[in-house]
Structure 1
Amino acid sequence: MRTRRVYAVLLALVCALAGALVTASPAQAATQTIANGVQFKDTSGNPLHAHGGGVVKVGSYYYWFGEDRNADNTFRSVDAYRSTDLKNWEFRNRVLTQSSASELATAYIERPKVMYNAATGKYVMWMHKENGTDYGEARAAVAVSDTVDGTYSYRGSFRPLGSYMSRDITTFVDDDGTGYMVSAANENYDLHIYRLTADYTGIVSRVANPWPGGHREAPALFKRGGVYFMLTSGATGWSANQQQYATASSPAGPWTAMTNVGDSTAFNSQTAYVLPVQGTSGTAYLYLGDRWGNSFGGTVNDSRYVWLPLTFPTSTSLSMSWSPQLGVDTAAGSVTSTAATYNTLIGRASSKCADVPDQSLWAGAAISQYTCNGGANQKWWFKDLGTGYYQLVSRGSSLCLQENAANVSQEDCGSATTQQWSLTTSGGYVLVKARASGECLDVSGASTANSAAIITYTCNGATNQQWTRGT
């Protein structure tokens, strides 16, 4: 009898524990907050190098492949990372390297995209290949692997159908398993759409050249509800420009004319890929873009990532708006934006704005004051931390205002108290007080000149410590 009672108690405890686990399971798929316009880190804390990349989903994992460059911007490797929630990325492997083939020893390898071929069970990577000195080769290249994040066997490079130039590149697998490759041709003036061989390693035919002379690059092809979307950028080198999109009922067309989307610089980014995030509540579409380091005086490996949700006002139209951070729930298949208001911070004494000099995107740039001009480098998101303190996040750089011993600078956002500020209204003006020191945001020497340093100083109520928040 005692044994039965013990068994009954144990059974009840097991059932209760099981019920608790079932109840707790949705928390494992909680919405993840992803900051925008910043350099991502992998789960080991290293910079994540998947520039110009693409994503393939295998089981519950998203695998992200992209460019990892040497200091001179030449090819070092294609890196592979994996994640279940799109925020926490584990480095897996350098799946293709300089030593993978002799022609890769000195090369540019750009925009690697991996496709899974269900018929062969192989993973096929397409990429843009150059000689590492200039962009005269304009070739497509192919590599193949038995496993998604294993070593890829390089199959060589070529010009599509023997003669067409091939630069910026993307791939797409249709619902029926047909593979497509899209690449910029004719010195980037055309975008060619090719149908691939059954094993995805070669080209059968060119099925469309929909926008001859359009001067477009950075293509991303995806399908939603039976409608094919092509999202592209203009061809302006590393500098950001106006994104455009077109639609069709078939990859072979006919395609519509290109239509502008987003702002005039795609929020200072360029298309890399459009990722469908499918879950229990539906499918969200996530724009993956690069804010190229070369555009602000760095290298490809200094680049930042811009991820934005795509919305669809109609079945054949596309919209994209800025958000400083995203809420991503891969289990539900939802991507949400954070509504943010950006304000200028105008000094009472000088009538000038808190300014990131030269529109710098670099961490460590010291903040000064400058004539208000409406630039993104003068706009700040007062991010409420829910603790009585705020982070001041730059619209231009996505970096946070930080108090230092000698100055105030912009830095990678984190949890340090030196990036936390309280706001006190007095006489219609705002005092911005540093949590770490208790000192106030101050224009050094009460200067009214452009480029005067902004520092923190003992709060004294002077007009050079009084600010208004403009629009």
Structure 2
Amino acid sequence: MKKPLLLGVLLAVASLAQAQQRTAFEPGNVWPDNHGTHLNAHGAGALYDHGRYYLFGEHKIAGRAGNSAQVGVHCYSSKDLYNWQDEGIALAVAPAGSGSEIEKGCVLERPKVVFNKKTGQYVMWFHLELKGQGYAAARTAVAVSSKATGPYRYVRSYRPGAGQWPLGYQEGWKQPQPGEAALKWWTPEWRTAVAQGLFVRRDFDKGQMARDMTIFVDDDGKAYHVASSEENLTLHLAELTDDYQGFTGKWATIAPAGHNEAPALCKRGGKYYLITSGCTGWAPNAARSFVASFIWGPWQQLGNPATGADADSTYHSQSTYILPVAGKKDAFIFMADRWTPSNPIDGGYIWLPLSFEGDQPRLRWADRWTLGVFDQPKSGAAQ
């Protein structure tokens, strides 16, 4: 009789723990889902749709093998952003040996989902590296579903901009310049060569590289793809087709030779704001920020948005998305990851309120905070 009683007590305790509702964000702490399991949605993006938020991220497993895609893209849903319900795998990788571009063992990163009002389809974009090729493929890929939670059907991958010059590209830049191949990296002459299309010309025929990426839908319904390109040296912004599943061919460069990755984009007061990181592998670094009055630029580089202790490492994290909070004007959440490549399933999440001082985006650390901070913009982040 004792064993069934003990089992009943344990089940009751587990059920109570799962039923406990979170009422605040606690950046960096374990974030359990409705089953009590730490959220498994790394490099995530979020979508608000019909009164619910949907979180999409890389599903990781234990050990270094988890740095490649072994399962797929995990989806969660929430009504309040604090408590998340496990919706399962939205996009599953294909079996090993299938020959699919997204077979088990590929690199599938930073999934972002947007809803297309014209087609009624949910469109997922992500950075894709083909299995066994390291980071050489540098592709971006798309999948679609009729439901936010999926399952998503893989469509194809791209090297964007094949056979197309970016906006503002001068006629004289279309041909290789004398001596450019011998230029030493990071010199002023080399930076000028990059700005004048050194890598754009190299990849003109096969298409431009696309690594860390995000998707942004503007007020007019037009969608844009922003990715780290040119060996992670230059950000590329490209307009998507009306169905959000391809590229129109209109694209531009941002911060040539600036060495930016992890782009996250939002719009406030008619201006566009971009937060990125430097390129230091898995190690965190100081974030960067940019502002533009028009999506196509020019983009002005600003300072590090992070403030206070650990600002030089963006609180030991790297940007992944900027989430507008539904129903609150000019309310944005900065979403970032704490990567743990030795055991990627343990990676943590840093969500902080994004504020502004003039044109400068600002991040301030808070051990605990609530959405109430957006109702009291002059108060501190902690609630």
Indicate the TM-score class for this superposition, using the shorter chain for normalisation.
0.7 to 0.9
1:309 corresponding residue in structure 2:
353
Structure 1 residue 257 displacement after superposition: 2.1
Instruction: List aligned pairs for 1:10-89, cutoff 5 A.
Output: 32-71=23-62, 72=65, 73-75=67-69, 76-89=71-84
Q: Distance in 1 between matches of 2:22 and 2:268?
A: 23
Higher relative contact order, structure no. (Cα contacts within 8 Å, ≥ 6 residues apart): 2
Q: Percent identity?
A: 39
Matched, 1:246 2:237: no
- 1:99 Cα shift? 2.2
* 1:70 CA displacement: 3.6
Answer yes or no: is 1:324 the counterpart of 2:319: no
Matched letter for residue 368 of structure 2: Q
* Residue-by-residue CA offset, 1:107-150 (whole Å, 9 max, x unaligned): 01000000111111111011000124411110000000111112
CA separation of 1:131/1:90 partners in 2, compared to 1, >3 Å: closer, same or farther? same
Counterparts in 2 of 1:330 and 1:311: CA distance versus 1, 3 Å: closer
Which one has a bigger Cα radius of gyration?
Answer: 1
Alignment partners' CA distance in 1, 2:364 and 2:110: 24
Query: 2:373 touches 2:380 (CA, 8 Å); kept in 1?
Result: no
Q: CA deviation at 1:206?
A: 4.0
In structure 1, how many angstroms separate the alpha carbons of the residues matched to 2:302 and 2:376?
Answer: 28
Letter in 2 for 1:148: A
**How many residues are paired up?**
305
| Structure having the larger proportion of residues in strand | 1
- Which residue identity does 2:128 align to in structure 1? K
Task: Find the partner of 2:261 among 198, 217, 220.
Answer: 217
Q: Does 1:112 align with 2:111?
A: yes
Report the counterpart of residue 343 of structure 2 in structure 1: 299
> Any gaps of 5 or more consecutive residues in structure 1?
1-29, 340-471
Cα separation, 2, equivalents of 1:321 and 1:205:
38
Aligned residue number for residue 316 of structure 2: 268
Question: Any idea what the Cα deviations from partners look like across 1:152-185, whole Å, max 9, x if unmatched?
Answer: 0101212112310000000000000001000000
Asked if residue 143 in structure 1 is aligned to residue 148 in structure 2, the reply is no
Measure the CA separation in 1 of the matches of 2:303 and 2:297. 16
Mapping for residues 309-458 of structure 1, pairs under 5 Å? 309-314=353-358, 316-329=359-372, 337-338=381-382
Post-superposition offset of 1:331: 11
- Provide, for residues 257-296 of structure 1, a one-character-per-residue CA deviation record: whole Å limited to 9, x for no partner: 24222111101000010111132x53411101001112xx
Is the Cα–Cα contact under 8 Å of residues 194 and 208 in structure 1 kept in the other structure? Answer: yes
Task: Determine if contact 2:305/2:360 at 8 Å carries over to the other structure.
Answer: no
User: TM-score, structure 2 length as denominator?
Assistant: 0.76
Q: 1:319 to 1:331 in 2, by over 3 A?
A: closer
Once the two structures are TM-superposed, the CA of residue 332 in structure 1 deviates from its matched residue by 6.5
1:278–1:332 CA contact under 8 A, matched in 2? no
Kindly report the root-mean-square deviation, in angstroms, between the aligned alpha carbons of the 2 structures: 2.2
Deviation at 1:194, TM superposition (A): 0.3
Q: Which residue of 1 aligns with 2:239?
A: 195
